[in-house]
Each structure stands twice: as C-alpha cells, then as structure tokens.
C-alpha cells in the first residue's frame, strides 16, 4: 500500500505538484493529428495536466498549442479566427502565432509598444505516429522528441485511437500493468479453460528495472507445452506495451504489439491513447482489422458519444451490465474489454471526496509486483525532478527499440533464450 502522503504525491498533476512537474519533464500526447485535419481549420480545446489550452494548425501546417485565453482581456480563444499563420481574438483583434508571439494589436495606436510586450503562453509541439506531442516543462530541460518504435514505422503498420476516462491516471495506468486481472475481468467465455490465461490464473511476476522504466515477465503454466510467457514494457511515466504475437497467430490475425499511453487531463480525468502496431514489417495492420478490434474492445466509433471520445457505456447507465450474461456467459456481463476496464477503474473507491483511490487501504500481493515497482519508480522520479535531475526515461533514445512479446517457452528453456530472436527483430 501507499501512505496517504505518497498517494497524494503521485496523483496530483497540476502545475507545481510533484507528479505534475514530473509529467512536464516528458513529451506528452496532446491530441491526435486527425483532430486537426486541415490548415487554418477549426481549433480544438485541449485540457492537459490541469491546464486549459487551444490547439490549431496554421496556414503552413504547423501545430500551435497555446493558452485558451487571450492575454489582453482573457477572452476565450476557442472563438478566435484561424487565419494567415495565427489566431486572431475576435474580441479586439489581437493576433498570435504558434509560438505565442503577438503579431497585431489593431485596437492600439500605430507604433504602440504593446505588440512587442504582449505574449501568449505557448508550448512546443512535435507530430509523430499520428499524435501531436507537446513539452510543458522548463525550456532548458527539454529532452529530444519522442522516438518510440511505433512512431517510426509506416502509417500502414499502426493504428492509434483515443478514449476519455473519468479516473485519475494512476488507477488507469495500474490497470494496464496488471496482467492477472485478464484471467478474470476479461474472461468472455465462461467455462473455457483452453485459453492460456484461463489455464493458470496466478502468474509468476518478475520485474527487471531499466533506464527507461522496467520490463516485467509474466509466466503461466501451460501444461505439456511448457510455460506461457508475456514480456511487458513499462516506459515512464505512463506508457505500457504488451505482447500479442502468439495469440494473434493462433487466431490468424496480424502479429502485433498492443499498448496504451495514459495522459492526465487533470487530477480526475485521463485520456487513454490506444496503440497497435505490426510486429512484422511484411504484415501491415489492415484498417478493417483495426476497426474490428476497436469495436471488440468496446471503443469503436459506434461506442462513443458523437463528437467526443467518451464512451456511451459509463457510470450513468452502469455500463449496461447484463446480470444474466454475467451468470451464464462472461465474468462481468459488460461488453467490450475497454469498457470492462473503465467500469472498474472509474468505480474505484474515493479519497477526500474525489474519485481517486485511497491506496492506504489496499492489500497488495505477489500478483501486484509490477504495480508496486511502478509506484516506487514514479516516487523516485518526483524526487529526482525536485533535485534538478532528469527523470528516468525522459530521453526516449533509451527505449527507442524496446519490444514486448508473448509466446510458449518449452520446459527447461530460459525465456530470454526462447524469445531473444523475436525481441531482437527491431524495425
């Protein structure tokens, strides 16, 4: 368990808070590139790490991420005109570029020094992997732009989506690093013990700390075949990759890697970026397959409230749980893997009257090793930031080619030996 003090240290993400300052030392996803489909198009409201911002694509295609309010009289820039390489506030016509520089103050006399004095808060951006990234920390400490494997591969070999979750990022991240829950929460075929994660519901967890976070190994008994091994990658502060190659091949699906990035909107809301990318350069991710997988997961377009990234199934309708299905067909009675996760993560016990877990009340076991180690690394990193040090994993060159994996390891063979060829097959 965590003390109340340490829990508070990790869950607060606003400016000046320990975890907030930690997240600001990494490049963060701000929105999908597809949310800004055209130059001089409509701007998008963005809330990130407790700050209200506006994203826009200018005349030259460059993305700006600026304060949601005009520095003149704090008018909302959502209503601004996006024109000629800048946002023009419709209240008094003041105009600012993607870097926050003031270009025009037309309601001031010609030659007024106001134009040179006024400045709008703006954060640098970078586009990669279908995502607009931003860095919100001290400029002099800005690390290199993200260089993850899934960013470098062709767009035909990856798919990314986004969902909105009414939960603190930490309880969502912990769900993504928890392998044993898949034997229960995601058991969609009651009584079917053929699935590898149903044969052995108590995996052995081994965690290996790295310069970017850790990788951990989940080992389950698979009978005469040997052991079913999954290698997870945790990339600080809040990205996880898991293997899906073995199970995909069993189903005659494209061998791929699955993953998520949990990005704090504020203390009680999170954007979840859902990744899938090809494990084999010769096998792309067909769009039809990607959409089918999104629907199976409960986060397809038909599952979202129109115009948002919010699920139709949510606490207001109890995720449309079907008790008869729960009794006879699935463990939860809730449709969609993503929806099942949200039901538990959004419904966790509150602390201080907020929908944030009070981790001082937990009872953790051996299945929680990966979660325990993640918390230790995050706490350590908050203190590193306070000491002026670069936190673990901020420079993504340390993890640009890491991979997760899953597969059967025959009895008597060490997992690294069995999977090394696959793990070394970098893009």
What 3-state DSSP class applies to 351? strand
331 and 230 housed in the same domain: yes
Model confidence pLDDT, tens digit, residues 10-35:
999 999 999 999 999 999 999 999 99
233 and 348 housed in the same domain: yes
303 and 179 housed in the same domain: yes
Which has the closest alpha carbon to 297: 329, 240, 257, 341? 341
Please spell the DSSP secondary structure of 86-117, one letter per residue. SEE-TTT--EE-TT-BEEE-TTS-TT-THHHH
Model confidence pLDDT, tens digit, residues 216-246:
998 888 888 888 888 999 999 999 999 887 7
In a domain, 7, yes or no: no
Q: What's the longest Cα–Cα distance across the chain?
A: 84
In a domain, 5, yes or no: no
- Number of compact structural domains in the chain: 2
pLDDT of residue 427: 43
Residue 169 has phi, psi (to 5 degrees) of -60, -30
Across 190-217, average pLDDT = 77
67 and 161 housed in the same domain: no
Model confidence pLDDT, tens digit, residues 53-89:
999 999 999 999 999 999 999 999 999 999 999 999 9
Give me the CATH number covering residue 71.
2.102.10.10
Domain limit, last residue, from 124, 141, 158: 141
pLDDT of residue 415: 75
Beta bridge partners of 66: 54, 122
- Band of residue 200 on the pLDDT scale cut at 50, 70, 90: low
196 and 82 housed in the same domain: no
Domain limit, last residue, from 85, 108, 141: 141
pLDDT of residue 192: 46
386 and 278 housed in the same domain: yes
243 and 361 housed in the same domain: yes
CB atoms near residue 390 (< 10 Å): 13
Across 250-267, average pLDDT = 91
Domain that holds residue 287: 149-423
- Band of residue 310 on the pLDDT scale cut at 50, 70, 90: very high
134 and 176 housed in the same domain: no
In a domain, 278, yes or no: yes
63 and 209 housed in the same domain: no
pLDDT of residue 423: 56
- Band of residue 401 on the pLDDT scale cut at 50, 70, 90: confident
> What crossing angle do the helices spanning 4-11 and 169-176 adopt, rounded to 10°?
90
In a domain, 16, yes or no: no
Side by side, the strands of the sheet bearing 95-96 are 81-82, 87-88, 95-96, 102-104
pTM: 0.93
3-state secondary structure 178-239: CCHHHHCCCCCCCCCCCCHHHHCCCCEEEEEECCCEEEEEEEEECHHHCEEEEEEEEECCCE
3-state secondary structure 38-68: CCCCCCEEEEECCEEEEEEECCCCCEEEEEC
356 and 406 housed in the same domain: yes
Using the 8-state DSSP alphabet, how is residue 357 labeled? -
Enumerate residues 6+ apart whose C-beta is below 8 A from 219: 203, 204, 206, 227, 228, 229, 415
Enumerate residues 6+ apart whose C-beta is below 8 A from 287: 159
Query: 78 near 68, Cβ under 8 Å?
Result: yes
**284 or 412, greater pLDDT:** 284
- Band of residue 124 on the pLDDT scale cut at 50, 70, 90: very high
Give me the CATH number covering residue 352.
3.90.380.10
């Amino acid at each position: 368990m965590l003390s109340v003090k340490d829990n508070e240290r990790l869950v607060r993400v606003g400016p000046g808070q320990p975890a907030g300052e930690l997240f600001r030392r990494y490049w963060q996803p701000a929105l999908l590139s597809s949310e800004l489909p055209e130059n001089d198009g409509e701007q998008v409201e963005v809330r990130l790490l407790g700050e209200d911002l506006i994203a826009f694509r200018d005349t030259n295609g460059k993305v700006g991420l600026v304060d949601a309010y005009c520095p003149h009289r704090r008018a909302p820039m959502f209503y601004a005109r996006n024109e000629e390489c800048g946002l023009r506030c419709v209240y008094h016509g003041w105009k600012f570029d993607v870097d926050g520089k003031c270009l025009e103050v037309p309601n001031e006399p010609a030659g007024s020094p106001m134009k040179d004095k006024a400045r709008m808060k703006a954060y640098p951006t970078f586009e990669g992997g279908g995502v607009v990234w931003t860095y919100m920390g001290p400029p002099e400490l800005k690390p290199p732009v993200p260089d993850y494997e899934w960013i470098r591969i062709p767009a035909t070999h990856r798919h990314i989506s986004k969902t909105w979750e009414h939960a603190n990022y930490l309880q969502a991240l912990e769900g993504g690093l928890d392998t044993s829950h898949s034997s229960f929460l995601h058991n969609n075929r009651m009584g079917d013990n053929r699935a590898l994660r149903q044969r052995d519901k108590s995996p052995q967890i081994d965690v290996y700390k790295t310069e970017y976070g850790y990788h951990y190994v989940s080992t389950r008994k698979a009978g005469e075949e040997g052991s079913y091994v999954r290698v997870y990658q945790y990339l600080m502060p809040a990205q996880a990759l898991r293997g899906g190659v073995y199970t995909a091949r069993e189903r005659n699906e494209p061998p791929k890697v699955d993953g998520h990035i949990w990005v704090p909107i504020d203390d009680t809301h999170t954007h979840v970026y859902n990744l899938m990318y090809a494990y084999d350069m010769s096998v792309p991710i067909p769009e039809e397959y990607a959409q089918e997988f999104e629907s199976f997961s409960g986060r397809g377009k038909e599952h979202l409230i129109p115009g948002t990234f919010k699920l139709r199934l949510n606490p207001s309708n109890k995720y449309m749980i079907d008790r008869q299905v729960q009794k006879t067909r699935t463990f939860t009675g809730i449709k969609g893997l993503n929806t099942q996760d949200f039901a538990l993560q959004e419904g966790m016990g509150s602390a201080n009257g907020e929908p944030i877990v009070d981790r001082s009340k937990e009872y953790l076991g051996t299945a929680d090793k990966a979660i325990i180690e993640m918390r230790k690394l995050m706490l350590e990193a908050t203190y590193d930031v306070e000491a002026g040090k670069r936190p673990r994993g901020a420079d993504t060159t340390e993890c640009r080619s890491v991979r997760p994996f899953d597969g059967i390891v025959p009895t008597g063979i060490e997992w690294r030996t069995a999977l090394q060829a696959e793990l070394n097959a970098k893009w």
